[in-house]
Amino acid sequence: MARTPRELAGARPDPAFEITLDGRPVTALPGQSVAAALWAAGILSWRTTREGGRPRGAFCGIGQCYECLAVINGVPNRRACLVPAGAGDAVTTQEGHGHAGLGV
Contact 98, 45 (CB under 8 A): no
- Identify the pLDDT of residue 99: 59
Whole-model pTM: value is 0.81
Measured at the CA of 50, the angle between CA 49 and CA 56, to 5 degrees, comes to 10
- Identify the pLDDT of residue 103: 43
- Average pLDDT, stretch 3-28? 88
CA-CA distance, 29 to 84, in Å (whole number)?
10
Which carries the bigger pLDDT value, residue 53 or residue 80?
Answer: 80
* Cα Rg, the chain, nearest whole Å: 16
For residue 21, what is the enclosing H or E element?
Answer: strand 17-21
| Domain 15-94 -> CATH class | alpha beta
CA-CA distance, 81 to 8, in Å (whole number)?
28
CA-CA distance, 97 to 93, in Å (whole number)?
11
